[in-house]
């Protein structure tokens, strides 16, 4: 290998690492947002928003935190002419378009400030500056976090992820296999299987919600058997209403029927799936 080739390979490796890290970060962002959403509820429900998960999510966002009186604020101001976007950390998660001073007045007024009739009107009604709250604000945070990531990739990036997965499979390193599968799953929008196809000790991801021949289906899919460190690919959808089709799936899981691909070769198929679906573009 020439010096030029070595330099090119080094650059490709650097790009692959950056893409993989960013894709893992995207997965983490979505997981945190899902966790926060699950913790949200009405005041009467007694549920309280998971503030720790929310803080971690906001720390990955373009917002900067600050403390004002008894409030924790997250402020985003893109340039001097823009009205700041301000999130108040709390159960209702309001997002305001206003100044810090105005938000503090409305959310944590002093007795002196409340004496003013003009201020009292602002304190009693914040709809004039509120952009969103609750789940809607959470969706905005998630999107803004993801927008900060460079998720462009090429075939070399996919090969690097596949290589890591294959090496982990060969050495029996479960976490490494699961990480590579989760990365490909994110690129392919794979989901966990329906209950009918969930199998003990198997990690399964696949294309969900498809309709084939007027019947609900699941697949293509990957199946990782944790006990035997076995990786399989089913490259066709399983029709959930078709007993024979579901039985065929179970025979593949048991090893009685061969899968479309097994072992490290599965990762090469996943590369092809991604390229066929998206080309070398954005994740």
Q: Domain segments of the chain: what residues?
A: 30-147, 155-278
Phi, psi of 269 (to 5 degrees): -65, -40
CB contact at 8 A, 64 and 75: yes
Three-state SS for 60-103 is CCCCEEEEECCEEEEEECCCCCCCCEEEECCCCCCEEECCHHHH
Question: Residue 15: pLDDT above 50?
Answer: no
Token pair recorded at residue 270: 């996943």
Higher pLDDT, 242 or 7: 242
Question: Residue 5: pLDDT above 60?
Answer: no
DSSP state of 231: E
Question: Distance of CA 251 to CAs 131, 248, 258, Å?
Answer: 53, 5, 8
Mean pLDDT (whole number) for 70-98: 92
pLDDT digits (tens, 9 = 90+) for 258-282: 999 999 999 999 999 999 988 665 6
């Amino acid at each position: 290998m020439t010096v030029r080739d070595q330099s090119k390979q080094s650059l490709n490796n650097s790009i692959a690492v950056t893409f993989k890290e960013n894709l893992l970060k995207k997965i983490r962002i979505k997981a945190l947002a899902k966790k926060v959403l699950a913790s949200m509820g009405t005041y009467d429900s007694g549920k309280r928003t998971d503030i720790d998960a929310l803080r971690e999510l906001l720390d990955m966002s373009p917002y900067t935190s600050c403390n004002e009186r008894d409030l924790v604020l997250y402020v985003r101001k893109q340039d001097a002419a823009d009205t700041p976007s301000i999130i108040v950390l709390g159960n209702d998660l309001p997002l305001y378009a206003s100044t810090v001073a105005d938000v503090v007045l409305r959310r944590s007024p002093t007795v002196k400030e409340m004496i003013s009739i003009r201020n009292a009107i602002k304190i009693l009604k914040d709809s004039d500056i509120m952009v969103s709250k609750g789940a809607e604000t959470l969706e905005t945070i998630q999107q803004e976090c993801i927008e900060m990531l460079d998720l462009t990739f090429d075939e070399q990036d996919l090969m690097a992820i596949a290589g890591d997965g294959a090496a982990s499979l060969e050495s029996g390193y479960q976490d490494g296999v699961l990480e590579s599968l989760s990365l490909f799953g994110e690129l392919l929008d794979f989901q966990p299987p329906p209950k009918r196809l969930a199998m003990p000790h198997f990690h399964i991801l696949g294309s969900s919600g498809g309709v084939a021949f007027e019947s609900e289906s699941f697949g293509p899919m990957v199946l990782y058997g944790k006990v035997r460190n076995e990786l399989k690919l089913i490259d066709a959808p399983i029709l959930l209403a078709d007993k024979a089709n579901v039985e065929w799936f179970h025979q593949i899981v048991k090893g009685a029927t061969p899968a479309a691909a097994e072992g490290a070769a599965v990762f090469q198929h996943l590369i092809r799936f991604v390229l066929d679906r998206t080309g070398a573009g954005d994740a």
